[in-house]
Chain A
Amino acid sequence: MSEQASIKPAALRARSFPGLAALRKILREPMGFFGLALVVLILASAIFADLLAMYDPTKIAPQNRFQGPSLTHLLGTDHLGRDLLSRVLYGARIALLVALGSTALSLMLGIVLGLMAGYGPRWLDAFLLLVFDAMKSFPTIMLALTIVTLAGPSMVSVVMVVVMVSVPGYARIIRTQTIAMKTAEHVTAARSMGAGTIRILRVHILPNIIGPIVILASMDVPVVIGIEAGLSFLGLGVRPPTPSWGTILNDGFANIRDSSWIVIAGGLPIILTTLGFTFLGETLRDVFDPRLKGR
């Protein structure tokens, strides 16, 4: 009796503030705390780039070029005398925009294709599986280089690359779970009551399988940030003078013998962001879905 009494308030609290309880669980893990702090920092610098940046990220001042960190330029200046901190802050916008936008798009396409493969006729399933496997067998950057050669370097090409790389993985997972769910009792019951295919998929299958895939997608965010920065580093993604972490790295790489600070300023935000999202994703997975551990 006393045991029940001690459990009840905790359960009630969790039910009234589900988000807060989850947050507390995440913050209890050192890795989760560190990850969340980094992600909040990056989000804040992207959102408040206008207020935080002291200089125009594209303003050229040749007399100030190759400066090391100082009180006027906290991260130094690049080969054109542009303030690196301002460029890094504005670069966060591009990185997060591409990462979140293209992950959401891939997730949507992956879910639709996965449901089609899992719930559709067998020939469609076999065909889609082959296509997924074939798409996964292109080395990522090679595929990216082909797309960029054909479509030209731009942010749209970067999104296209991300979609082609991540959709097959998401679709395969959704497909497997849809097949498992297809013969579940509540689905059979809904079908016997005359529910249509769309309704069954939307109301009876999707809500049951969407949790794990969202967590997996959140763990892919750092990969996507790496793809965007990598392509921009090669001069095949975001076009200069738009500040992106990849283009800053490219500037720094070209001038690496004159100044180390440009490379350091371009690489640091990439490292911090990928670490932040990865640590947060790992903790999210452990807290919400321990079954996924080890993926």
Chain B
Amino acid sequence: MMIAAGTTKGLPVRKPWLTRLADASEPYLYSAPSLILIVAVMLVPLVIGISYAFRDIQLLNPFSGGFIGIEHFRALSQDAAFYGALKNTLWWTGASVLLQFFFGLILALLLDKPFWGRGLVQALVFLPWAVPSFLAGLNWAWLFNPVIGPIPHWLFGLGVMSQPGNILSDPQYAMWGPIVANVWWGIPFFAITLLAALQAIPRDLYEAASIDGANWFQRFCSITLPFLAPTIAITVLLRTVWISNFADLIVVMTGGGPADRTQIVASYIFTQAFKALDFGYASAIALVLLVLLLAYSMFIILLRQTLLNKD
């Protein structure tokens, strides 16, 4: 491709400037199509979205659109609904991730043991993951509905509820509805990833430990957990970010109600943008959520680095 510059009378001859320009720009020209595509579909919307946060954009107001600086953020700092949503997000994310992880781990441990029909059970266990979240939300909303769903009647029969009412309309317990649906929907993710990690543990380690005198629990603590730790860290981090962003189930099941008791930040953004049609304000909230999640991820990555460096 490159042609060595020839010499005349011992002096180097410079190539014409057009050739030099072509040579220099060649790598950029090759990568240009994909770079342009990435900028067009990723950076442009991101920048526009962020710019909304600093502009007054209301769909129903034709005179809106002007730059207003940090006015949205000032309003946000005094928005009680936002603080409620922030608290609900913590609750929703924490409970969902913890329960999904806990049940996912138990399921993975059970599926790691060989038994008759394991292949079929594995396939069935992973089924919820394949259900669209929208359908899962509708399904669970119906299950919790005392008119058509069985769950309130079962809970009443067990004496947990004083009457077969709809948990989704109970301000005290409404959040448990989407959390239960989310746990059902998200267990397979943990089960799949943890099962894969479990199956990578050499079997003779367990044999050596049982000869050394370890019982089931001691083997779990000194072999299984250390082996699973990296997988647990990365899956919990991922799920935390996804779930705190995951408004589908809440929007479908409760719409944030009753009285904003199930409103999380992500569903609050959805409500502001598509119910109140205030895109500017919604963008400002989204920006805050983005910063919070970035901070969380950085924290986890730093934590991981320090833990890894300790060895």
The finding on whether chains A and B are genuine partners in a shared complex, rather than unrelated, reads no
Chain B residues in the interface with A (C-beta under 8 A): none
